[in-house]
């Protein structure tokens, strides 16, 4: 057991989640590396100090460069706005420090490419924080497919839908300007990442975006509320995706349905402890989607609880992610999704936005 000093940039929503994860991951997974909450950085000294005290860090700063340079900070988690990612990442890798970076990787494709270049030049551990695909259920979905339980996949439908902006009177904020903060830029990446993990590379796509509420209190909205994609995967699978931040009634609509030649899978993050499996090999009268409750028979469940059906939650995904990041550091092996994997998501978002402008199919193939 070796201690490792953790520095976290950003103390809000995700900064807290990562802080809690680092505080508990050792006890949950009995990790070889044991996080020590060394330093937290926030936009002002006052807020940084408040986060430090709340989450239990040793020190606080309002200067990310201080955190990155600090010798007791041995690994870095980035939970700041995406426009800041690139600069921090480049400095961190220059300092030889491993980085777990929140999604999406940067403000645009150029950022993502630069971040991959920085990561691969340095060769230190690098990972993008796509947490939802790490639930026991979604990990199990990946296994079901790779084990051939549902045969060859023939169709994929995915969505990431929430309704936090459904109220037309919700005010304009940083979220409502800049394509990186819109639905395609900010929500879609989670499900695109899932699609890649579950089905494989996407070969071509056509997309649309729509700003339903163009005028909000406090300003004009310049990015998209709804977004949709039709696509083809490299293996010929037909795909359909929908994303929205105004999907009234949906709170965590990270959901997919995967049709195979021998079976099918359905999943909805709003009931994250269940996954539905249909098998054509069942006797005809007994065929039906099985509502499987996750348990010790499924990936990464048992460390949280020995009882099936007892359930894991949002925070537990971040703990699994922390375990994977620590493992990447300790083992020296890349852990999916690396920055290069994250770049693929960024390329797809970039292409989807381009497609929405030209209203035509675009290829993802690399020249």
Site residues for a copy of itself, 146-165, by CB under 8 A, read 149-150, 154-155, 157, 162, 164
> Nearest Cα to 242, choosing from 197, 193, 186, 183?
183
Of the pair 13, 123, the CB lying nearest a copy of itself is at 13
Tell me the backbone φ, ψ of residue 328, rounded to 5 degrees: -60, -40
b vs e for 270-298, b when ≥16 Cβ sit within 10 Å of the residue's Cβ? eebbbbbbbbeeeeeeeeeeeebbbbeeb
Cβ 345 to a copy of itself shortest distance, Å: 20
Order across the sheet with 202-210: list the strands: 274-279, 263-268, 253-260, 153-161, 238-244, 226-233, 202-210, 362-363
Cβ 118 to a copy of itself shortest distance, Å: 30
Using the rule CB under 8 A, which residue among 138, 139, 176, 272 binds a copy of itself? 272
Tokens of 120: 């691969």
Subset of residues 173 to 212 that bind a copy of itself, contact rule: CB under 8 A: 206, 208, 210, 212
Using the rule CB under 8 A, which residue among 4, 16, 186, 195 binds a copy of itself? 16
Is 367 one of the binding residues for a copy of itself (CB under 8 A)? no
Of the pair 308, 334, the CB lying nearest a copy of itself is at 308
CB atoms within 10 A of CB 87: 17
Of the pair 95, 155, the CB lying nearest a copy of itself is at 155
Rounded to 10°, the helix 13-29/45-55 angle is 30
Is 218 one of the binding residues for a copy of itself (CB under 8 A)? no
Report how far residue 342's alpha carbon sits from residue 352's, in angstroms, rounded to the nearest whole number.
Answer: 15
Using the rule CB under 8 A, which residue among 83, 177, 240, 338 binds a copy of itself? 240
User: Which range of residues in 54-62, 94-102, 109-117, 171-179 is near a copy of itself by CB under 8 A?
Assistant: 54-62
Q: Which residue has the tokens 């426009």?
A: 83
Subset of residues 288 to 327 that bind a copy of itself, contact rule: CB under 8 A: 288-293, 295, 297-298, 304-316
Cβ 110 to a copy of itself shortest distance, Å: 28
Is 287 one of the binding residues for a copy of itself (CB under 8 A)? yes
Is 354 one of the binding residues for a copy of itself (CB under 8 A)? no
User: Which range of residues in 66-74, 108-116, 278-286, 320-328 is near a copy of itself by CB under 8 A?
Assistant: 278-286
Of the pair 93, 243, the CB lying nearest a copy of itself is at 243
Q: Which residue has the tokens 């406090």?
A: 218
Cβ pair 172, 219 in contact under 8 A:
yes
Of the pair 93, 256, the CB lying nearest a copy of itself is at 256
Using the rule CB under 8 A, which residue among 286, 357, 365, 366 binds a copy of itself? 286
Tokens of 124: 């230190």
Is 47 one of the binding residues for a copy of itself (CB under 8 A)? no
Is 32 one of the binding residues for a copy of itself (CB under 8 A)? no
Q: Report which DSSP code applies to 186.
A: I
Report how far residue 228's alpha carbon sits from residue 208's, in angstroms, rounded to the nearest whole number.
Answer: 5
């Amino acid at each position: 057991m070796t201690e490792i000093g953790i520095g976290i940039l950003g103390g809000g929503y995700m900064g807290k989640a990562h802080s809690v994860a680092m505080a508990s991951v050792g006890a949950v997974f009995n990790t070889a590396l044991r996080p020590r909450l060394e330093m937290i950085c926030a936009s002002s000294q006052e807020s940084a100090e408040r986060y430090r005290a709340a989450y239990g860090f040793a020190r606080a700063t309002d200067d990310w460069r201080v955190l990155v340079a600090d010798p007791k900070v041995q690994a870095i988690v980035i939970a700041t706005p995406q426009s800041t990612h690139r600069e921090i990442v480049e400095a961190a890798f220059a300092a030889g420090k491993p980085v777990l970076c929140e999604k999406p990787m940067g403000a645009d494709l150029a950022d993502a490419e630069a971040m991959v270049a920085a990561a691969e030049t340095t060769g230190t551990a690098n990972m993008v924080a796509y947490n939802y695909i790490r639930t026991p259920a979604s990990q199990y979905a990946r296994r079901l497919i790779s084990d051939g339980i549902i045969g060859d996949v023939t169709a994929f439908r995915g969505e990431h839908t929430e309704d936090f902006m459904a109220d037309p009177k919700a005010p304009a904020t940083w979220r409502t300007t800049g394509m990186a903060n819109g639905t395609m830029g900010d929500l879609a990446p989670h499900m695109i990442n899932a699609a890649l993990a579950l089905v494989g590379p996407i070969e071509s796509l056509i997309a649309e975006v729509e700003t339903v509420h163009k005028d909000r209190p406090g300003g004009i909205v310049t990015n998209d509320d709804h977004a949709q994609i039709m696509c083809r995967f490299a293996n010929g699978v037909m795909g359909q995706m929908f994303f929205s931040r105004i999907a009234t009634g949906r709170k965590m609509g990270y959901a997919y349905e995967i049709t195979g030649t021998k079976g099918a899978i359905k999943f909805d993050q709003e009931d994250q402890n269940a996954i539905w499996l249909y098998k054509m090999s069942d006797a005809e009268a007994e065929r039906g989607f099985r509502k499987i409750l996750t348990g010790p028979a499924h990936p990464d469940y048992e460390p949280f609880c020995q009882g099936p059906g007892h359930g894991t939650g949002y925070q537990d995904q971040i703990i699994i992610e922390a375990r994977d990041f620590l493992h990447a550091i300790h083992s020296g092996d890349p852990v999916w999704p690396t920055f290069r994997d994250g770049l693929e998501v960024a390329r797809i978002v970039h292409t989807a936005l381009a497609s929405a402008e030209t209203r035509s199919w675009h290829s993802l193939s690399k020249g």
